[in-house]
Amino acid sequence: MIREGTLLKKGAESELYLINWYGGHAVSKVRIRKDYRHPSIDVPLRKQRTIHEANILSQVKLLGIKAPFVYFLDISNFEIIMEYIQGKTIKDVFSPKLCTNVGKIIGTLHSNNIIHGDITTSNFIVSHDGVISLIDFGLSFISERYEDKAADIRLFKEVLNSINIEDFVESFENFCNGYNQTYTTVSSIIFKTVNDIEKRGRYSRSAL
């Protein structure tokens, strides 16, 4: 069941709706059926991913990171009803200074072995009073591997380089400083792994 509401976003795996929830706004995230997957695979997979995302959101809140509260979990309909966070995305109000707090948030996640999987400027919401919230944990997973944490950072670095070229150096430096503040112990190893990933990518392209 998809609850009546306004479609906010339609992705490859899910749809987001702005709905009325007991007199207030909320977001309904529904994982949609994929025709190329047999129902025997599709149904358990969507259920597992729905439960997993709700669990990750709960863990993130316990770490003190601003993220949507989960109001209701409807496993049979592959749906999470969660808090609607008002504000603008970092993409819309970008400033290099914001990257320091982004780094602190991701450093906190990584120090607790949570990989977000989609660190883009569109997945951070800045409220009217400057509080930053992290959304969309649909690709998140648990991992202790430095490579997975580095890949998370590498994605954000690519985003910064593609949409904020003039401020890239300052922005990424601020991100690194924030990250170091909350994940001091092995941050140097992880950033070295980021560089290693980039070198492998350049080598692969030059070999073509």
- Which range is least confidently modeled, 13-17, 93-97, 196-200? 196-200
d(CA 101, CA 131): 9
57 contacts: CB under 8 Å, gap ≥ 6 = 67, 68, 69, 70, 80, 82, 137
Q: What is the pLDDT of residue 199?
A: 86
Model confidence over 126-146: pLDDT tens digits? 999 999 999 999 999 999 999
H/E stretch holding 88 reads: strand 88-89
Pairing of strands 79-83, 124-126: unpaired
Give the global pTM. Answer: 0.90
Please give the average per-residue pLDDT across 3-7, as a whole number.
81
Q: How confident is the model at residue 204 (pLDDT cuts 50, 70, 90)?
A: very low
8 Å CB contact between 94 and 125: no
β-partners of residue 80 are 29, 73
In 3D space, the residue among 113, 123, 188 whose CA is nearest the CA of residue 155 turns out to be 123
Q: What is the pLDDT of residues 146-167, one digit of tens each?
A: 999 999 999 999 999 988 788 9
pLDDT of residue 200: 78
CA atoms within 13 A on the CB side of 34: 15
Spatial distance between the Cα atoms of 18 and 29, rounded to a whole number of angstroms: 9
Q: How far apart are CA 183 and CA 103, in angstroms?
A: 10
- Residues paired with residue 18 on neighbouring β-strands, in sequence order: 6, 27
**pLDDT for res 207:** 43
Mean residue pLDDT across the chain: 92
Domains of the chain, CATH where assigned: 6-83 (3.30.200.20), 88-207 (1.10.510.10)
pLDDT at position 203: 47
Show which residues are catalytic. 118
pLDDT given for residue 43 in this prediction: 95
